[in-house]
Amino acid sequence: MPTPTSTQDAIGLLAKLIAFDTTSAKSNLDLIAFVREYLDGYGIASTLVPDGDGKKACLFATIGEGEGGVGLSGHSDCVPVIGQSWTSDPFTLTERDGKLYGRGTCDMKGFIACVLAAVPLFKSAPLSEPIHILISYDEEVGCVGVRPMIARLGEDLPRPRVVIVGEPTGMQVIDGHKCIDVFRTTVTGKEAHSSMPVIGVNAISAASKLVEEIDRMAAEVAASESDPHFDPPYSTVMVAMVDGGTAPNIVPRNCDVLWQLRGLPGSKAKDSPERLEAFAERTLLPGMRAVAPDASIDTKTETSVPAFSAGPDSEAVSLAMTLTGANRASGVSYATEAGLFQDAGCPAVVCGPGDIAQAHAADEFVAISQMEDCLTFLAKLIDRMSA
């Protein structure tokens, strides 16, 4: 097996990646330019897949020749630090007690740093098939950025034989995750003076009944599903935000309910919006429209990330288990880009450094030992792919 890349090389690269504030609301182009220049230094060309206004881009690079190959996929964006209490600058890598602190260290610039640090080994190895590096944007807001890049696989970009998505799993092999569907239900009633509520339709009151129905659906789903591969072992449905009203002396005309489904692969809970609509039509709207004929309750999908299920014969899972030495794979409740790759015909697996419990939190960190494990994983991948 090739000697793993120096951990210090990976840490140095991680420090540079962390210094770019790639919060999803901001551009990632400076980070992408850095990665592109780094790869160019090793004679590796890369292709950019920009978004519609040119403020963000995915990067795709190939090392080696031939068809198929292994894709190493990570997202460049991270979540905000606003409102969080950090003990060090979130955009300056800080090492304490064997841990590397900074926004994105765990989710998921640690994996990208390890991949970049391994590039010299990838470049010098007699690869029997190529290694592809895929870096996306806007994963944190619905896996948006990777979709146009995936659409080009097998067209003007090579299609990897398998894709390893390096989300933080503690270097455990993940072969499935739940979907994430985010819905916005908008209630439109009728304004009135608060001294005469009977001539108005209180949108917040109607929304409160929708919240109760969503909670009831959540309890029903929890009681009807049980898959020990996931924790919790059932689909979850929950209300996340409620926003409505204008002033204390006005019957509120509008109210929005933002709610979410995290569904098991194949879960019947995917019909939750239709069930909520049926409840509204049957229970709420007749009374509302008796006062305000234009009253309405409408649900729209804000975000939809598909569930991921690799299947029992997945070559991606088999490869990751060989490289890690694991004898079993697990499922997780958070979503990744793996389901999108899988649905596009690229067998996928999720395996990367860090603990998801650290992701999105203040003082986010990745353990140096996890970086070392990831570098060993990549060295074993090189050995397996070398002629």
Give the C-alpha separation, 293 to 189, whole Å.
9
What's the chain's average pLDDT? 96
Residue 187 has pLDDT above 70, yes or no: yes
- 293 shares a domain with 310: no
Chosen domain end from 305, 326, 348: 305
Give the model's pLDDT for residue 141.
94
Give the C-alpha separation, 4 to 114, whole Å.
10
Residue 2 has pLDDT above 80, yes or no: no
Q: Which of 107, 138, 139, 140 is catalytic?
A: 139
pLDDT in tens, 269-298: 999 999 999 999 999 999 999 999 999 999
Residues 6+ apart with CB under 8 A from 292: 189, 190, 200, 201
Q: What would the mean pLDDT of 301-329 be, rounded to a whole number?
A: 96
Specify if 366 maps to a domain. yes
Give the C-alpha separation, 332 to 320, whole Å.
16
The confidence band for 387, taking pLDDT boundaries of 50, 70 and 90, is: low
Residue 27 has pLDDT above 80, yes or no: yes
- At position 6, the amino acid (one-letter code) is S
Give the C-alpha separation, 121 to 378, whole Å.
9
Residue 335 has pLDDT above 90, yes or no: yes
Residue 1 has pLDDT above 80, yes or no: no
- 125 shares a domain with 88: yes
Reported pTM: 0.93
- At position 272, the amino acid (one-letter code) is S
Residue 310 has pLDDT above 90, yes or no: yes
Specify if 109 maps to a domain. yes
* CATH of residue 190: 3.30.70.360
Chosen domain end from 264, 287, 305: 305
Give the C-alpha separation, 86 to 83, whole Å.
9
- 157 shares a domain with 11: yes
Give the C-alpha separation, 187 to 251, whole Å.
13
- 208 shares a domain with 132: no
The whole-angstrom distance between residue 21's C-alpha and the CA centroid of its chain comes to 18
Q: Give buried/exposed letters for 114-129 (b at 16+ CB in 10 A, else e).
A: bbbbbbebbeebebeb
**Where does residue 302 rank: exposed (0-12), middle (13-18), buried (19+ CB within 10 A)?**
middle
User: What element of type H or E holds 207?
Assistant: helix 203-224
Contact between 235 and 178 (Cβ < 8 Å): yes
Instruction: For residue 30, count other CB atoms closer than 10 A to its CB.
Output: 13
Q: Is the peptide bond before 232 cis (omega within 30 degrees of 0)?
A: yes
- 161 shares a domain with 203: no
Chosen domain end from 262, 287, 305: 305
- 329 shares a domain with 300: no
User: 77 catalytic, yes or no?
Assistant: yes
- At position 4, the amino acid (one-letter code) is P
Give the model's pLDDT for residue 378.
97
Give the model's pLDDT for residue 6.
85
Specify if 275 maps to a domain. yes
Specify if 323 maps to a domain. yes
Specify if 285 maps to a domain. yes
- 282 shares a domain with 201: yes
- 35 shares a domain with 167: yes
Q: Which of 21, 77, 107, 181 is catalytic?
A: 77
Q: What is the extent of the structural domain holding 333?
A: 7-177+306-385
Percent of the chain with pLDDT over 70: 98
Residue 5 has pLDDT above 90, yes or no: no
- 95 shares a domain with 78: yes
**Where does residue 320 rank: exposed (0-12), middle (13-18), buried (19+ CB within 10 A)?**
buried
Residue 3 has pLDDT above 70, yes or no: no
Number of domains in the chain: 2
Q: What is the DSSP letter of 127?
A: B
